[in-house]
Structure 1
Amino acid sequence: MAGGLAALAALAAAGCAVVAWPPSDPHHPTAADASAGHTPPAPRSPGPSAPAPSATASASARAEDPAPTRGSGADIPLKGPGTFVTAPGESGEAGTGKVLRYRVEVENGIDVSAAGAAAQVERILSDPRGWTADGHSAFRRVADGPTDFVVRIATPGTVDDICGQYGLDTGGEVNCSVDRNVMVNLKRWEQATPVYAHDVTAYRALIINHEVGHFLGHGHVTCPGKGKPAPAMMQQIKGMHGCVPNVWPYDTEGHLITGPSVP
C-alpha cells in the first residue's frame, strides 16, 4: 500500500504542522515516515550478545545533524547504484531487554552523510518516547559483525527495487520494512510530507519509529479519535483523519499511543 503523489497532494490541502523538539531534550531525534505493505520480520540473527510528544507516522512494509536540508524534487536523484556505505563507529546500548544490533547505511552517490544519518537514527531509537519504552526492546548501533536489522537511506528507485523483491509497491514515494531491511526513501528523508514540511527533523523520527515498529512486529493502526495524537504506526502519509501530528510510539508518561487496528 504505497502512498502516492495523490495522497501527498491531499495532505498539502490540510496545511502544515510544525513539531518542535523540546529545547531541553538531550536526544533531539529526527522524524520520518513510511508507507508500503507489511511482511513479517525474518528470524533475528543471534548477534554476539545479539515535553509533550511530537507528531506522525508513516506507512510501511513490515514496509546532520539537526538542520536537515529540504531540497526540491529536482534535487532528489531518482535512482542510485544500489550500493551502500556503512556509517562508522558504534553506539552504547539504549533500553533494557534483548539488544538488537543494527547498522546504518547510505546509498553511494547521494548527498547524505552516513555518520550524520547514524547520529540521528541513534537519537531516535534512544529517545524515551521511542520503542525502548516497551521495556523489552534495546538497540545498539554497530559498523560490522552480526546485525538484526539495517537502516538504509536510498534513492526512490533503489527503495522500489529492494521493497519490490518482497512484493511491495513503494511507487518511488514511500518507505518500507522488509526482512531485516528498514528502507528509507531519500525523498521522504529530505522533504517529509506536506503536514511535516516545516519540521523535516520530526518526520525523520516518524519514518524510523514506524518502520522499526514493523520490524518489531507492530502492524498498522488508525486514528483513535479527533484531536488525539496520531499513532506512530498510523499511515499518516495517507491522511491524519482528525488526529494531530505525532511521531513517537509512546507519550512522556510511557503510555503507548495507538488506535484501532487496520487489516
Structure 2
Amino acid sequence: MTGRPNAPRTHRASARRRPRAAVTPVLLALAAAALCLLAGHGLPGTSDPAATPVAVHGDTRSETPEATATASVPESGPGTFTVARADAHRTGGGRPYRVEVEDDMGVDPDEAAEQIAAILDDERGWAHGAGVTFRQVADDSATLVIRIATPDTADAICATGGLDTEGELNCRVGRTVAVNLKRWQLGSPEFAGPPEEYRALIINHEVGHWLGYGHRECPGPGQPAPVMMQQIKGLHGCVSNAWPYAADGSFLDGPKVP
C-alpha cells in the first residue's frame, strides 16, 4: 500500500431548506406494499436468501474458488492407509518403494501410484541416465514408503521426526515420505503450473531427501529453481521447476542452504 487515501470531501448543506414533499395516503400505501414484498417473498426472480445454503469459514464474505477448493480437502482422516497394488511401475527394476493412501479422503491408491511411477521413471527425474531406478512393491520389502495423507495425519507423521509442517508442508522422516493432501490436490500458490506438475516437485523433492540431498537456494534470477529448493516458501527470482534434470540432461542445482 502507498499510504492512506485522502478522506472524501464533504459538501456543506445548503442554507436553504427544500420544502418537504407532502406524504399522501397513496404514497404510504405503495411504501407499505414494497416493504411487505421485500420482507416476505423477496424480489421477483430471486431466491429467498434463507433457503440458500452458504458455507461460512471465519467470515461472511462469498467464498473464492481457492477457498472453495481448500474447503473440499479434508483436514483429518482415520489415520489408516490402503497400499496400492504393485503393478504401477513400468520397468520393474531398482529400489523398492511402496505407495500408501489414507482412507476416506477421495484419492484412489492405484491411480496415485501410477502418477508417482511416471514421475520416478521420467527422464528428467532421479532415474535420469539410469543413475537411480525404482521398483514398486506392496509388501514390507520397501526401503521407501510414500504416504499421501490429510494435513493432520501428515503433520503427525512429520512430528515423529521433530518437524513442524503446520498443516501445509510435506516431509521425509526415515524411509517415509509424507505427502500433504492439500499440496497433492491444490499445488502451491508459488508454483507456476497445475497441481499435476506440482506433484512431480513434491515427489522429486522428498525422494531427493531420501537419496541424501539437502536444501538448495536459487542460483540466480530467471534460472530454474532447483528441485531441492523449498519453492513453496518463495522462488526468490528463480522460475518454478519440478525436475532434478533439465531436458538437455544437465543437473539443476544451486547453492547449499547454510
TM > 0.5: yes
Instruction: State the match for 2:78 in structure 1.
Output: 81
Instruction: State the one-letter code of the partner of 1:86.
Output: V
Using CA pairs below 8 Å that are at least 6 residues apart, which structure has the higher relative contact order? 1
Q: Give the structure 2 partner of residue 234 of structure 1.
A: 229
Cα contact 1:177–1:211 (8 A) shared by 2: yes
Q: Which runs of 5+ in 1 are unaligned?
A: 1-69
Distance in 1, matches of 2:230 and 2:83, equals 28
Q: Is this contact kept in 2: 1:126–1:132, CA < 8 A?
A: yes
- Inter-partner Cα distance in structure 2 for 1:171 and 1:121: 24
What is the one-letter code of the residue matched to 1:176?
C
- The aligned residue for residue 188 of structure 1 is 183
Q: Distance in 1 between matches of 2:240 and 2:79?
A: 33
- The answer (yes or no) to whether the contact 2:92–2:136 under 8 Å persists in 1 is no
CA distance in 2, matches of 1:142, 1:250: 26
Identity %: 53
User: Where does residue 96 of structure 2 map in the other structure?
Assistant: 101
1:88-142, Cα deviation, whole Å (9 max, x unpaired) = 13224378xxx21001110011100111100100000000000012643110111
RMSD: 1.7
Higher deviation after alignment, 151-160 or 131-140: 131-140
Partner of 1:123: 118
| TM-superposed deviation, 1:192 | 0.8
The runs of at least 4 aligned residues of structure 1 exceeding 6 Å deviation read: none
Residue 160 (structure 2) pairs with residue 160 (structure 1): no
Matched residue count: 191
Question: Structure 1 residues 124-133 or 72-81, which shifts more?
Answer: 72-81
The 5-angstrom pairing of residues 1-263 of structure 1 reads 72-90=69-87, 91-93=89-91, 99-133=94-128, 135-196=130-191, 198-263=193-258
Partners of 1:224 and 1:131 in 2: CA distance: 20
CA apart distance, 1:195 = 3.0
Post-superposition shift, 1:194?
1.1
* TM-score where L is the length of structure 2: 0.71
Q: Distance in 2 between matches of 1:71 and 1:144?
A: 37
Can you list the C-alpha shifts for 1:8-45, whole angstroms capped at 9, x where unaligned? xxxxxxxxxxxxxxxxxxxxxxxxxxxxxxxxxxxxxx
Q: Which has the larger radius of gyration?
A: 2
Aligned to 1:19: none
Q: Secondary structure at the match of 2:206?
A: helix
Amino acid in the other structure paired with 1:136: G
Instruction: Look up the SS of the partner of 2:155 in the other structure.
Output: helix
Gap change, CA 1:234 and 1:198, over 3 Å in 2: closer
TM-score normalized with structure 1 length: 0.69
> Does structure 2 conserve the Cα–Cα contact (< 8 Å) formed by 1:196 and 1:202?
no
Q: Which amino acid in the other structure matches residue 75 of structure 2? A: L
Aligned mates of 2:120, 2:145 — CA distance in 1: 13
